[in-house]
Amino acid sequence: MAKILLVDDAAFMRKVIKDTLIKSGYTDLYEAVDGLDALEKYDEVKPDLVIMDITMPNMDGLEALKSIRSKDPNANIVMCSAMGQETMVIDAVRSGAKDFIVKPFKADRVLKTVTSIVGNP
């Protein structure tokens, strides 16, 4: 079973993604509230996939992405943000993101991305 780390400073957004994944059979889910928390949880959990917001306090998602990828070049990280700006997408992909999801999420888009990276639950 794939371990998935959900990183977003908004509890509601973590819940939306978590509920979508649970309904589809993914159950090994972990949460972090910002980039710093994500770095700690990444080291603890060693997830197969990280779904991470860009705009967060303390450490944003792009900084966390770069930090995780510097420690683990094979890390699977999908970035998400309400700001679907082209420059952010390009920066995230150049920094090693596997994909980029724009909020508000469509459940089928989230699931397609997750299954393409970690397979079915």
Nearest to 35 by CA among 65, 78, 14: 65
Q: Which pLDDT band holds residue 25 (cuts at 50, 70, 90)?
A: very high
Mean predicted confidence (pLDDT) in 57-63: 94
pLDDT digits (tens, 9 = 90+) for 63-104: 999 999 999 999 999 999 876 567 887 889 899 999 998 888
Q: What is the pLDDT of residue 105?
A: 84
Burial 102-112 (b: 16+ CB within 10 A, else e): bbebeeeebbe
Mean predicted confidence (pLDDT) in 39-60: 96
List the strands of the sheet with 4-7, edge to edge: 29-32, 4-7, 49-53, 77-81, 99-102
Inter-residue contact 79 to 117 (CB < 8 Å): no
Average pLDDT, the chain: 94
* Domain extent at residue 59: 4-118
The CATH number for 73's domain is 3.40.50.2300
Number of domains in the chain: 1
Q: Which residues contact residue 108 at a Cβ distance below 8 angstroms, ignoring those fewer than 6 apart? A: none
Using alpha carbons only, give the angle 2, 53, 46 rounded to the nearest 5 degrees: 30
Q: 101 forms bridges with which residues in the sheet?
A: 80
Q: What is the pLDDT of residue 102?
A: 84
